[in-house]
């Protein structure tokens, strides 16, 4: 029983770590799926699947008509359009140019950006220990993902565009997190409802993007493959429905910078998964994980 108050005190931090763990597993699955369906179309499909699951959950729990003000709904919708619609789109564009390692290094800028934006807009003041925890967590993750980054085969102008996309993705993720935090902190809004509002807004932004770019809807015909359809649906359940719900829970109960830092630890969870699959893990990766874990520990002792 003594552990229950501790779990309540750190439910935001624990939810962020759980989301990071789920995203780590999903990234391994989506690596194969992404070769069969364009990333933007895949992002749209998994978002629509998650929306259906969230509506079903709300129907079963009898929570279909919550009392939510217009202002929080507007903040959450803007958060979804920026964080999911814009952020995920430019993230995929950065991946195509820079590759996963360099893109993830740029994504590591999102937690400190979120902490700075939350400090300016929401007046969230973090302790020196919390700032040190954020910096160590980001440094550890960056050290891991930057290992042996291959040279980009793209010419210099494309690399610069890739850097711009990566920086924009980090800023969009940070802004989306702070907007969600502004809507959720100190309110009675259920994190599942905030997740649904964000996803709906994000999917609308993606639909506009798909229409503007004239993406072929014929790619969806590949979902006629039962195995591929079950893989996409199952991973959407975990990585979009469940993980975004956990992410919104973390933003409701933990400061934006801390929640974003812990949510960004997915690369650390990928390492034991890769080891289990037979990959050799370097000493540098192990040291990077240790540095990040010290940062995580500091974030749990921020009080």
pLDDT in tens, 36-64: 777 677 778 888 999 999 999 999 988 77
Is the pLDDT at 247 greater than 80, yes or no?
yes
Counting runs of H as helices and runs of E as strands, what totals does the chain give?
A: 15, 0
Average pLDDT over residues 116-130: 87
Distance between CA atoms of 293 and 139, rounded to whole angstroms?
Answer: 11
Asked whether the predicted pLDDT for residue 283 surpasses 90, the reply is no
At 245, the pLDDT band (50, 70, 90 cuts) reads: very high
More confident residue, 238 or 209: 238
Backbone angles phi, psi at 255, to 5 degrees: -55, 150
Angle between helices 100-107 and 87-98 (to 10 degrees): 140
Check residue 30 and give its pLDDT.
66
What's the pLDDT tens digit per position in 171-193? 999 999 999 999 988 788 889 99
CA distances from 283 to 144, 273, 287, 290, 292 (A): 10, 16, 6, 11, 14
Q: What average pLDDT is seen over the chain?
A: 82
Q: Which pLDDT score, from 0 to 100, does residue 7 have?
A: 64
Find out whether 16 and 254 touch, Cβ atoms under 8 Å: yes
Six-digit token pair at 113? 């950006």
pLDDT in tens, 125-165: 888 888 888 888 888 888 877 665 554 555 657 778 888 88
Query: Is 66 within 8 Å of 189 (Cβ atoms)?
Result: yes
Length of the chain: 303
The region that residue 148 occupies, defined by phi over 0 for left and psi between -120 and 50 for alpha, beta otherwise, is left
With CA atoms as reference, report the closest residue to 187 among 10, 79, 61, 68: 68
What pLDDT is stored for residue 1 in this prediction?
39
Q: In this prediction, what percent of the chain has a pLDDT beyond 70? A: 86
What angle do helix axes 283-300 and 128-145 make, rounded to 10 degrees?
160
User: Measuring CA to CA, which residue among 77, 83, 37 is closest to residue 259?
Assistant: 83
- What is the C-alpha separation between 91 and 84, in angstroms, rounded? 10
DSSP for 88-141 reads: HHHHHHHHHHH-HHHHHHHHTTHHHHHHHHHHHHS--PPPHHHHHHHHHHHHHH
Q: Which two tokens stand for residue 168?
A: 């924009």
pLDDT tens for each residue of 5-29: 656 678 888 999 999 899 888 877 7
Res 107: pLDDT: 81
Q: What is the pLDDT of residue 100?
A: 67
pLDDT value of position 10:
83
Read off the pLDDT of each residue in 257-273 and give the average, rounded to a whole number. 84
pLDDT number for residue 34: 59
Q: What would you report as the CA-atom Rg of the chain, rounded to the nearest whole angstrom? A: 19
Cα–Cα distance measured from residue 171 to residue 112, given in angstroms and rounded to the nearest whole number = 10
pLDDT band at 2 (very low <50, low <70, confident <90, very high): very low
Q: What is the pLDDT of residues 220-237, one digit of tens each?
A: 677 777 787 888 888 889
Q: How far apart are CA 219 and CA 104, in angstroms?
A: 27
Residue 302 has pLDDT above 70, yes or no: no
Share of the chain above pLDDT 90, in %: 21
DSSP 152: P
- Single out the residue of 165, 95, 137 nearest to residue 264, CA to CA: 137
Position with higher pLDDT, 247 vs 209: 247
Cα→Cα distances 34→92, 197, 221, 239, 289, Å: 11, 26, 15, 14, 27
Contact 36, 218 (CB under 8 A): no
User: How does residue 81 score in pLDDT terms, banded at 50, 70 and 90?
Assistant: very high
């Amino acid at each position: 029983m003594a552990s229950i108050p501790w779990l309540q005190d750190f439910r935001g931090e624990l939810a962020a770590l759980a989301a990071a763990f789920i995203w780590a597993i999903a990234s391994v699955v989506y690596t194969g799926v992404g070769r069969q369906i364009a990333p933007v179309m895949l992002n749209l499909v998994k978002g629509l699947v998650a929306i259906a699951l969230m509506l079903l959950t709300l129907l079963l729990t009898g929570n279909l008509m919550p009392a939510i003000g217009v202002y929080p709904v507007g903040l959450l919708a803007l958060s979804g359009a920026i964080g999911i619609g814009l952020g995920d789109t430019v993230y995929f564009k950065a991946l195509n140019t820079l590759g996963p390692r360099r893109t993830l290094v740029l994504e590591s800028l999102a937690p400190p950006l979120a902490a700075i934006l939350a400090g300016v807009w929401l007046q969230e003041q973090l302790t020196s220990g919390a700032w040190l925890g954020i910096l160590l967590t980001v440094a550890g993750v960056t050290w891991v993902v930057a290992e042996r980054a291959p040279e980009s085969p793209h010419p210099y102008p494309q690399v610069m565009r890739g850097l711009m996309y990566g920086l924009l993705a980090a800023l969009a993720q940070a802004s989306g997190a702070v907007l969600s935090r502004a809507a959720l902190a100190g309110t009675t809004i259920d994190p599942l409802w905030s997740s649904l509002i964000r996803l709906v807004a994000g999917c609308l932004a993606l639909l506009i993007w798909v229409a503007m770019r004239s993406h072929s809807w014929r790619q969806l015909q590949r979902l006629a493959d039962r195995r591929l359809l079950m893989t996409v649906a199952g991973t959407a359940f975990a990585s979009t429905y469940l993980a975004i719900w956990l992410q919104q829970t973390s933003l409701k109960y933990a400061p934006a910078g801390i929640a974003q830092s812990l949510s960004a630890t997915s690369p650390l969870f990928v390492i034991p998964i890769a080891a289990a699959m037979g990959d050799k893990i370097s000493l540098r990766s192990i040291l990077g994980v240790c540095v990040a874990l010290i940062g995580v520990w500091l974030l749990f002792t921020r009080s």
